[in-house]
């Protein structure tokens, strides 16, 4: 398809799920009822759901066929062997434990290795990764590369880890106190940006030198492989699968939320090279998740993962996936929407602080954009800014997050090109009205993870 401008979905639609269209008037009411927090909206009130790319993939006819063959035996199910083989082909890690999703694997591995006095280092820890580490009493330190700070400049691998800081931290803390180095590919919290193989190899050398565990948070590893092949010269003739296999070969283990690049709605795994560590984790798995050959998953879920992990590396699929995300981002950029550039693999991140530079941070410009996208076009997104990460000082003054972003996370194989065109049209209206938009005030919030359940008042309604 190289000679055509139009991106076509490399699949046909066999089964459809209705989208309930709504009017702007109705959405105004729905959002008021949800206290201006789209997490409180029922999904049938949403037209385009960009809240997350996690667990929202459409499965293929092959995966659905596999579901019918799910072996639901408690122990030694054939579906487990299929899932295990797929993961082993990919990772080369001998010891594999199934889990119901990524954070269950995180709790087991990082809970076991963590504890007071221990440090984990990552390009950027995802929220649940950080939460599991901190819950164990350990600390989680992010050391993304410097290039990530510049939103506008094209740098091919903004997901990279800062190698100088890595070695400095290891020496400062003492190698025996570093529980693990975790490389997140692509770097979700850092804008979905890819990590280069060169960076991954250098980290491996450093971890070997100091005898430190090196793990991959690999939930978007196929998307990362696409970027490596197209941006790192040495890899242009390798297949996406070979690139991923090489990445895994550098590490001591991996954690995967299969809800992303395994193209399924539920599932995860933990894979390790070290038997002793795997045995300890297996015990913890059995205590809270399930027996070691299902780990909280149904046989049918394991079938779907076994197939999805192969399908995700198909070149036509990956090309469509990355170019359609880039298409959306590039169109928005051309329209003058401020965003993180270059566009990442699974999402477009809008800089709401710049878009609504008239809204003060304590009135949450990111949440204002989340609300506007819903009111204008029924698009559900998530704020990644001071609503999610803001804290208060002793006087109750907001300590803002470093950035005020809004994430448009694109589910896999779910929306068509015309849905994307629709989103672009919604943004044209957003740009026209940008100066009229007011911020929000939080009226109710829980102590932890407030973005899920906080209630807001819309300042436009007040003035
Ligand atoms: N690691 C990364 C990089 C993730 O993006 C996620 C989930 C997890 C771990 C945890 O996996 O949800 O299966 O327990 N990210 C979702 C998101 C929730 O919307 O980005 P999980």
Cα 216 to middle of ligand 1, angstroms: 13
For residue 191 and ligand 1, the question of a CB distance below 6 A is answered with no
Q: What is the pLDDT of residue 129?
A: 95
Cα 284 to Cα 328: distance, rounded to the nearest angstrom: 43
Q: Which of 374, 360, 362, 369 is nearest to 339 (CA)?
A: 369
Residue nearest to atom 8 of ligand 1 (CA): 102
Cα 425 to middle of ligand 1, angstroms: 29
Testing ligand 1's pocket by substitution, the residue of 100, 101, 188 carrying the most ligand atoms inside 8 A of its CB is 188
Neighbours of 310 (CB within 10 A): 16
What percent of the residues of the chain are helix, what percent strand, and what percent coil, each to the nearest 5? 45, 15, 40
Q: Is the dihedral of CA 410, 53, 155, 190 positive or negative?
A: positive
| CATH number, span 61-311 | 3.40.640.10
Q: What is the pLDDT of residue 189?
A: 82
Which class for 180: exposed (0-12), middle (13-18), buried (19 or more C-beta within 10 A)?
buried
CA atoms within 13 A on the CB side of 145: 23
Instruction: List per-residue pLDDT tens for the chain, 463 residues long.
Output: 567 888 899 999 999 999 999 999 999 999 999 999 999 999 999 999 999 999 999 999 999 999 999 999 999 999 999 999 999 999 999 999 999 999 999 999 999 999 999 999 999 999 899 999 999 999 999 999 999 989 889 999 999 999 999 999 999 999 999 999 999 999 988 789 999 999 999 999 999 999 999 999 999 999 999 999 999 999 999 999 999 999 999 999 999 999 999 999 999 999 999 999 999 999 999 999 999 999 999 999 999 999 999 999 999 999 999 999 999 999 999 999 999 999 999 999 999 999 999 999 999 999 999 999 999 999 999 999 999 989 899 998 999 998 899 999 999 999 999 999 999 999 999 999 999 999 999 999 988 788 999 999 988 765 4
Q: Hey, what CATH class is 24-53+314-462 in?
A: alpha beta
Pick the atom of ligand 1 nearest to 101's CA: 13
Domain segments of the chain as ranges: 24-53+314-462, 61-311
Cα 438 to middle of ligand 1, angstroms: 31
For residue 257 and ligand 1, the question of a CB distance below 6 A is answered with yes
């Amino acid at each position: 398809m190289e000679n055509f401008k139009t991106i076509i979905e490399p699949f046909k639609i066999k089964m459809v799920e209705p989208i309930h269209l709504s009017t702007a008037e109705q959405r105004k009411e729905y959002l008021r009822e949800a206290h201006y927090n789209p997490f409180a909206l029922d999904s049938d009130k949403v037209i385009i759901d960009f809240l997350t790319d996690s667990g929202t993939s459409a499965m293929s006819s092959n995966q659905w066929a596999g579901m019918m063959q799910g072996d639901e035996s408690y122990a030694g199910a054939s579906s487990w062997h299929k899932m295990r083989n797929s993961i082993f082909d990919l990772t080369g890690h001998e010891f594999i434990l199934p889990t119901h999703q990524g954070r269950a694997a995180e709790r087991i591995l990082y809970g076991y290795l963590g504890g007071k006095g221990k440090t984990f280092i990552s390009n950027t820890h995802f929220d649940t990764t950080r939460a599991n580490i901190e819950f164990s009493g350990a600390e989680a330190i992010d050391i993304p590369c410097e290039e990530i700070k510049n939103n506008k400049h094209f740098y091919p691998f903004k997901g990279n880890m800062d190698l100088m800081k890595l070695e400095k931290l290891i020496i400062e803390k003492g190698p025996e106190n570093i529980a693990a180095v975790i490389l997140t590919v692509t770097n979700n919290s850092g804008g979905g940006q890819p990590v280069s193989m060169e960076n991954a190899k250098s980290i491996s050398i450093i971890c070997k030198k100091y005898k430190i565990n090196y793990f991959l948070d690999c939930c978007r590893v196929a998307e990362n492989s696409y970027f490596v092949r197209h941006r790192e010269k040495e890899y242009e003739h390798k297949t996406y699968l070979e690139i991923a296999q090489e990445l895994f070969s550098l590490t001591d283990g991996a954690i995967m939320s299969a809800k992303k690049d395994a193209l399924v709605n539920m599932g995860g795994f933990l894979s390790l090279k070290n038997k002793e560590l795997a045995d300890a984790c297996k015990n913890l798995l059995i205590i809270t998740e399930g027996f070691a050959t299902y780990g909280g998953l149904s046989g049918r879920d394991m079938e779907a993962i076994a197939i999805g992990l192969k399908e995700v590396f198909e070149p036509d699929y990956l090309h469509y996936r990355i170019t359609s995300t880039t298409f959306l981002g590039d169109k928005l950029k051309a329209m003058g929407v401020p965003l993180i550039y270059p566009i990442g693999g699974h999402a477009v991140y809008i800089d709401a602080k710049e878009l609504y530079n008239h809204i003060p941070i304590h009135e949450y410009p990111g949440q204002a954009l989340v609300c506007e996208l819903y009111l204008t076009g029924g698009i559900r997104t998530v704020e990644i800014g001071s609503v999610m990460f803001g804290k208060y000082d002793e006087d109750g003054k907001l300590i803002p997050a470093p950035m005020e972003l809004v994430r448009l996370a694109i589910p896999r194989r779910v929306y068509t090109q015309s849905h994307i065109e629709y989103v672009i049209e919604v943004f044209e209206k957003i740009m026209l009205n940008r100066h009229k938009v007011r911020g929000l005030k939080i009226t109710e919030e829980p102590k932890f993870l407030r973005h899920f359940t906080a209630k807001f008042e819309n300042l436009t309604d007040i003035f």
